[in-house]
């Protein structure tokens, strides 16, 4: 009977622990603009936002819109870590990619040492792609859990 109580207590604590998880998203944006004209950064928001404050519900019968100003969505407190651009005047710079990898690894290792666990990584490329393409970014989101 006593072992059943201990098991029940452990299960209760483990369920409580699951519900107390926190997620954090950190984004790296690396420029793929030719000639080194773009900007590359790691961006980390230092304040939280409640998505519900900026969410509207729309149905066929009733459309309720959130009345909040879009400027309220902006995060004014964030870290911005400089990265190097993928290109310079001479073309692609593998040295810059290696430098960015070192900085991103440092960021990930710091987050892990602070008790965060890297659980998801997702990335995408956006590029104009037309004649004389002069715009583009490589974006990666690192999703941590604590």
User: What does the alpha-carbon distance between residue 101 and residue 98 come to, in Å, rounded to a whole number?
Assistant: 5
Q: Which residues contact 113 (CB under 8 A, 6 or more apart)?
A: none
| pLDDT over threshold 90, residue 115 | yes
* Residues 68, 69, 74, 77, Cα dihedral to 10°: -80
Both tokens assigned to 140: 């990666």
CB neighbours (10 Å) of residue 145?
13
Containing H/E element for 11?
Answer: helix 2-19
CB count within 10 Å of CB 31 equals 21
Which tens digit of pLDDT belongs to each residue from 25-52?
A: 999 999 887 776 788 999 999 999 888 8
Q: What integer pLDDT is reported at residue 116 of this predicted model?
A: 97
**How would you classify the pairing of strands 87-88 and 91-92?**
antiparallel
Average pLDDT, the chain: 83
CA nearest 98: which of 84, 115, 114?
Answer: 84
Assess whether pLDDT exceeds 70 at residue 20.
Answer: yes
**Residue 84, SS3 per DSSP:** coil
What is the per-residue pLDDT across 80-98, written as a single tens digit (0 to 9) for each?
999 998 887 778 889 999 9
Spatial distance between the Cα atoms of 87 and 107, rounded to a whole number of angstroms: 22
Q: Which of 7-16, 109-118, 123-132 has the highest mean pLDDT?
A: 109-118
First to last CA, the chain: 34
């Amino acid at each position: 009977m006593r072992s059943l109580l201990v098991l029940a207590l452990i299960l209760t604590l483990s369920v409580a622990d699951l519900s107390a998880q926190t997620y954090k998203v950190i984004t790296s944006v690396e420029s793929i603009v030719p000639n080194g004209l773009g900007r590359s950064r790691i961006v980390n928001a230092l304040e939280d936002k409640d998505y519900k404050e900026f969410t509207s519900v729309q149905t066929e019968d009733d459309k309720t819109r959130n009345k909040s100003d879009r400027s309220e969505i902006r995060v004014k407190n964030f870290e911005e870590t400089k990265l190097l651009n993928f290109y310079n005047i001479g073309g692609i710079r593998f040295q810059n990619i290696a430098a960015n990898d070192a900085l991103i690894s440092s960021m990930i290792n710091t987050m892990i040492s602070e008790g965060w666990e890297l659980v998801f990584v997702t990335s995408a490329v956006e590029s104009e792609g037309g004649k004389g393409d002069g715009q583009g970014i490589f974006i990666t989101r690192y999703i941590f859990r604590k």
